[in-house]
Amino acid sequence: MGIAAYASRVSDAPPPEANAGEPESFVIRLETGDRIHYLDWGVAADRPGAPPLPPLVLLHGITQTARIWAPVARRLQDVTDVIAVDLRGHGLSDPARSGYDLSSLAMDVLTVMTGHGWGDAMDGPPAVVAGHGFGAMIAATMAALRPASVAAIALVDGGWEDIAEATRASQSEFLAGLADPPEVMSSMDAFLADREAFDPATWDADQEAAARAQVDQKHAGHVGLVSRSAAVRGSVEAMYSYRPLEALTRAAVPMLVLVAEAATADDEDARERDLALDDVVRARASVGLVAPRVVRYPGSGHNLMRYRPAEVASELRALLESVATSARMPDGPA
């Protein structure tokens, strides 16, 4: 994908709500004509005497949308510029017949950054990129493709495992496992009730908005995923093509890893996840990269932005501040 792009407000998006935490909705038009949608939490408030922090780019996982990041984004909007992107074929971003490989998806996000004046193509500041699940793979790919545009990456419960080994499932089996039962998709009320039941204590306006953004109304009141079927199939193919050791040794930037640990420590899957992460840490050390900061969240499910938003925001802020401090040091990165 080309880099030339421009930003425009989404004309059919609802106006921002009154609260300051509500983002505005924009699109970047690629050279192909395809539009990539993103949410923008605005320019950070002036903080006299405080050094500027890098901008923050947030990437969702497969079948999700940018809305999933809202609980974290609004906690950081006063300290830096924050955007969350709808990946190609997801949310309000245009679908396409192709372009779901990791490099193309990474270039989509880099183009959004260019439209903001961020990254080396615009002689702008590099961004910290945080990805959840599949989005973590894209963040790592961005850092490998354009290291001067990515200041650091955060892998939020994903990005360090080989999916085939981790799931012990074929691509077709994994794809089938993404589907919800018919009764869940029978109505918007049924879908929302199912999502609330994941953890009623954390169900709030943010979670309802994220759930509503994930589906649209079909005939007879049924709902279906907004993510296009070609996008989901292509994204699963990309996930299975991802080689974490290769990607994360090429991503020569600081790295934060946030691990959801819903299972007990003696669970076989949990042990396999730890071994995979250990392999990544050793591989990065072998090429002279600093060990990542690893933070574990016992008892939490995959969607850490829902279950632990304050802690995730705190870790991302610390990463932003660390990058800013390193950039100001005489021997730090430019």
Per-residue pLDDT at 17:
36
> φ, ψ for residue 261 (rounded to 5)?
-125, 75
Quote the CA–CA distance of 66 and 13 in Å, as a whole number.
14
Q: Which amino acid, residue 271?
A: R
Per CATH, the homologous superfamily of domain 6-177+229-327 is Alpha/Beta hydrolase fold, catalytic domain (3.40.50.1820)
Quote the CA–CA distance of 240 and 90 in Å, as a whole number.
19
Per-10-residue mean pLDDT for the chain, 334 residues long?
Answer: 32 36 90 92 65 92 97 94 96 90 97 94 95 98 97 98 94 94 95 96 95 89 91 96 97 97 77 95 96 95 97 97 81 45
User: Under a CB-based contact definition with an 8 Å cutoff, are residues 173 and 58 in contact?
Assistant: no
Per-residue pLDDT at 330:
54
Select from 204, 255, 228, 192 the least CA-distant residue to 70.
204
Task: State the pTM of this model.
Answer: 0.91
| Token digits of residue 195 | 């999502």
